[in-house]
Copies of this chain bind each other. A is one copy, B any other.
Amino acid sequence: MHPITAQLVHQTIRPRPAESYKGNYGRVLLIGGNQNFGGAIIMAATAATYSGAGLVTVATDPQNFASLHARLPEAMVMDYHQTDAVLALMAGVDVVVIGPGLGTDPGADQLLSAVLTAAKPQQRLVLDGSALTLLAATPRPLPASPIVITPHQMEWQRLSGLAIKDQSPTANRRAQRQLGVIAVVKAHHTTIYTDQDVWFNPGGTPAMATGGMGDTLAGMVGGFAGQFSDFTAAILSAVYLHSAIADDLAATRYVVLPHQISALIPEYMHRYSVAVPD
Contact = CB atoms under 8 A, between A and B. Distances in A.
A55 interface: yes
A20 B67 CA distance: 31
Contact of A211 (B13, B55, B206): B55
Interface residues of A, number: 71
A42 to B, nearest CB: 4
B67 A70 contact: yes
Given A22-B209, A73-B39, A73-B67, A270 B253 contact: yes
Contacts of A39: 69, 72-77
Contacts of A76: 36-37, 39, 211
A75 B269 CA distance: 27
Contact of A209 (B21, B70, B259): B21
A171 to B, nearest CB: 19
A20 B49 CA distance: 29
Interface string A205-221: 11101111100000000
B13 A206 contact: no
Interface of A: 13, 16-22, 24-25, 35-40, 42-43, 46, 49-56, 62-78, 152-153, 187-188, 205-207, 209-213, 250, 252-259, 265-267, 269-270, 273
14 contacts: A16-B209, A21-B187, A22-B209, A35-B65, A37-B76, A38-B65, A38-B73, A39-B73, A42-B69, A52-B254, A62-B63, A74-B211, A74-B212, A252-B267
